[in-house]
Amino acid sequence: MSDLGHVLVLAGGLSYEREVSLRSGRRVSEVLRSAGIDVETRDTDASLVPSVLADPPDAVFVTLHGGAGEDGAIRSILELLHVPYVGAGPDTCRVAFDKPSAKAVVRSVGLLTPDSVTLPKETFHDLGASAVLTRIVEHLGLPLFVKPARGGSALGASAVRTAEELPAAMVGCFAYGDTALIERYIEGVEVSVSVIDLGDGPVALPAVEIVPDKGVYDYAARYTAGHTEFFAPARLSAEAAAACAEMAVTAHTALGLRDLSRTDLIVDAQGRPHFLEVNVAPGMTETSLLPMAAEAAGQDLGTLCRGLLEIAAARTA
C-alpha cells in the first residue's frame, strides 16, 4: 500500500469535453485503486470546495479536459485551498492552453511549428469574411487546418483542401470558441509524444502514431474504439523518433510545465517534426494516447499515476 492516504480525482466539469473527462476520471480511479490507493472521484460543482475543506485530500489528480480543467482556473482554486495536485500551475496552463500563445513560445526556442493566422470571430465578421479569408489563403496557401484557439478533442477542427471549404470550416470552429487558429496544413505522419517527470527531469515516452480510418483524427476517431489504428511506438526512423522526443521535452520545458504533458506533432517527409499543440491534462481513456505510450514503455499506468501523486503530495501547494 502507498503512503498516500486520501486521493481525489477530479472529472467532469462543464466544458464540451465533459464526457471524455468522466471517462478519463474513471480510468485513473480504477488504475489507482489497483495500485493500492484510496480514491474519491468528484465533479467540479458547488459541493467541491466545502468537501475539500472538510476532508482535505493528500493530493488531487486532475482529469478535467478543456475549459477550467486546462486553463488554470481549477488549479487556482486548488492552490487557494492549499491542496497539492498533479500537473502544471495556473499561469503556465493559461499559456499552454491557448494554442497561438504556445506556438509563439515554442517558436521562440527554435522549434518548427506551422505558419498560422489567429482570427477572433469579431474581426472575421467586422472586416468582411470573404475579404479576410481570401487574404489568409493568399498568405498561407492550401491546404489549411482550422481549429479553435482554445480547447481540445478536435471539436470544431477541420482540414481545408480548397478555398471554398474555408467559410464552413470557420463557422464550425466558431461554434466551439470565439477565436480560430488557421494553420498551414503539414502533410506527414501524425504522432503524439507524452512527457513524464517522476522527479529526475522530463522524459519522453515512446511516440504514438495515429492513423484514423477516415484520414482525419476527429472526435469520433479519438474516442470510438476501432475508428483509428495506433502504433506504439510509432513507425519512425530512429532519427525521427529521437527528434520527436526532443521536441516534446523542449516544449514541456519551454512552457514551464510539470509532471506530465502530451505534445502533438506532424512528422514531414524529411523526418522533421512540427509542433501542433500541447495538452496539460492528457486523456486517460481506453483509447487515449498517454496510456498507450506508457504501455509501449513497459510502464504500469497505475504505478505511473501513483508516482505522480506522490510527487505532488510532497510539494507545498
pLDDT tens-digit map of 251-280: 999 999 999 999 999 999 999 999 999 999
Active site residue 24: no
Q: How confident is the model at residue 215 (pLDDT cuts 50, 70, 90)?
A: low
pLDDT surpassing 90 at residue 213? no
Indicate yes or no: pTM above 0.85.
yes
Q: Which of 153, 192, 194, 261 is catalytic?
A: 153
**Mean pLDDT for the stretch of residues 63-91:** 93
Q: What is the mean pLDDT of the chain?
A: 92
Domains in the chain, start-ordered, CATH in brackets? 7-87 (3.40.50.20), 94-112+186-298 (3.30.470.20), 116-184 (3.30.1490.20)
Active site residue 153: yes
Position 236 scores a pLDDT of 98
Active site residue 288: yes
| Tens digit of each residue's pLDDT (9 = 90 or more) over 25-50 | 999 999 999 999 999 999 999 999 99
Residue numbers belonging to the annotated binding site for Mg(2+): 264, 277, 279
Give the H or E element holding residue 54.
Answer: helix 48-54
Q: Give phi and psi for 40, each to the nearest 5.
A: -120, 130
pLDDT surpassing 50 at residue 183? yes
Q: Which segments of 207-304 are extended strands (E)?
A: 208-212, 228-231, 260-267, 273-279
**Do residues 282 and 301 touch, judged by C-beta distance below 8 A?**
no
pLDDT surpassing 50 at residue 317? no
Position 219 scores a pLDDT of 64
pLDDT surpassing 70 at residue 120? yes
SS3 annotation, 152-198:
CCCCCCEEECCHHHHHHHHHHHHCCCCEEEEEECCCCEEEEEEEECC
Q: How confident is the model at residue 15 (pLDDT cuts 50, 70, 90)?
A: confident
**Mean pLDDT for the stretch of residues 174-178:** 92
Position 186 scores a pLDDT of 95
Q: Which of 24, 116, 158, 288 is catalytic?
A: 288
pLDDT surpassing 70 at residue 211? yes
**Mean pLDDT for the stretch of residues 275-297:** 95
pLDDT surpassing 80 at residue 225? no
My answer on whether omega of the bond before 50 falls inside 30° of 0, hence cis, is: no
Q: Which of 17, 183, 190, 209 is catalytic?
A: 17
